[in-house]
Amino acid sequence: MKDLVFSGIKPTSVPHLGNYIGAIKQWVDIQKNHRCLFSIVDLHAITVPQDPKEMRQNTLDIAATYLACGIDPARSTIYIQSEVAEHAELAWILGTVTKMGELERMTQFKDKSQKGGRERAGLGLFAYPALMAADILLYDTSAVPVGEDQMQHLELARVIARRFNQEFGETFVIPQALIQKHGSRIMSLQDADKKMSKSDESKSGTIMLDDDADAIRKKIMRAVTDTGGGVYFEPEKKPAVSNLMTIYHHLSGKTMKEIETLYEGKGYGDFKKDLAEIVVDYLGPIREKLETFRREPGELHKVLDAGRDKAKAMAEAKMELVRERVGLGR
């Protein structure tokens, strides 16, 4: 049987170019030789405050983006996390075998709770890794595509799965990381030390997948560069230009060497102008499809209904076993 892969995106806004290059684009390839579940993880999104109306729209936009980018519902299961209640149920049970000390060590919690202070951070944010473990373990997921930032959570999911298996008997598959391609972490166009993010306050650092051609051109032409000129891929010395080159490479298919040769003796202006057109041309068809789904969401709902039913059937079977192992119910 082929490996089962689970991954998801939080509906905290329309996805951005970082989500595309770092996740969705790779999923389109992964689905060719894996069974895949791609979720819209709204239960994760609410671990920080969301506007309910906006989140519902974002949820549909993420589903539409999956389809617009080439996730094939005939091969992969696309569904909304909260529509399969077993995620929350399993997260609660796994929470009982997860140690406070383990959760306290998670850097994402430390980062995200920094703003309002630890005392005011929600329990949901603290328990986020138990929910992520539930997402993965519920489906006997064997491979999880993760960026560096999620490695710590995946490691904890493995610890939780082993501990549960030891305590209650073999129940969960121990998931492996499916390490993503080198250089797939896209940084903000305004600050090459920060990753491109939906929640970045500076909107000009993030290219959203529904940005129109003008917005994309403006953001790229205003992107920060490094001192010293020259289009070279040197992430240590030239983080901003290297980030732009990473985008260029992923969307054009050209190697870093080819890009360097192409811009030998030319300035940042020429490079950025070409990059802007590459991004505009690449994202144009995705944005059009996204707009079509926004106008006519019928097909989208069909895909989400079918995905929910398929995911639910798998999750129910697993939860029956888990409840029996733990001794819940009659």
Cite the active site residues. Answer: 112, 195, 198
- Give the position of tokens 């689970």: 6
The C-alpha angle 166, 156, 37, rounded to 5 degrees, equals 95
If you ran DSSP here, which 8-state letter would residue 291 be given?
H
Q: Which residues contact 187 (CB under 8 A, 6 or more apart)?
A: 193, 194, 195, 196, 239, 240, 243
92-93-94-98 Cα dihedral, nearest 10 degrees: 90
**CB of residue 150 vs ligand AQP: minimum separation in angstroms?**
6
Closest to ligand AQP by CB, 118 or 181? 181
Please say which residue, 46 or 90, places its beta carbon nearer to ligand AQP: 46
Nearer to ligand AQP, 138 or 209 (CB): 209
Shortest distance, CB of residue 7 to ligand AQP, whole angstroms? 6
Cα–Cα distance between 317 and 84 in angstroms, integer? 12
CB of 46 to ligand AQP, least distance (A): 11
Pairwise CA distance, residues 195 & 24, whole Å: 16
Bridge partner residues of 80 (DSSP): 40
CA distance 3 to 222: 43
* For ligand AQP, the closer CB: 256 or 262: 256
Q: Which residue is nearest to ligand AQP (CB)?
A: 22
The residue (of 197 and 263) whose beta carbon lies closer to ligand AQP is 197
**Closest alpha carbon to 248 in 65, 21, 42, 64:** 21
Minimum Å distance from CB 172 to ligand AQP?
22
Q: Where are the alpha helices (DSSP H) in the chain?
A: 17-19, 25-30, 42-45, 52-69, 86-95, 100-104, 107-114, 123-137, 151-168, 213-221, 239-252, 256-262, 268-295, 298-326
Least distance (Å) from ligand AQP to the CB of residue 324?
Answer: 32
Q: Quote the least distance from Cβ 36 to ligand AQP, whole Å.
A: 13
Q: How far is the CB of 329 from ligand AQP (least distance, A)?
A: 33
Contact at 8 Å (CB) between 68 and 290?
yes
Applying CB under 6 A, which residues contact ligand AQP? 9-10, 12, 18-19, 21-23, 147, 150, 184-186, 195-199
Distances (CA, A) of 76 to 33, 143, 229, 257, 316: 11, 14, 44, 35, 19
143-146/176-179 β-pairing: parallel
Q: If you write DSSP's letter for every residue of 77-128 in order, what string do you get?
A: EEEEGGGSTHHHHHHHHHHTTS-HHHHHT-HHHHHHHHTT-GGGS-HHHHHH
Nearer to ligand AQP, 127 or 319 (CB): 127
Nearer to ligand AQP, 241 or 319 (CB): 241
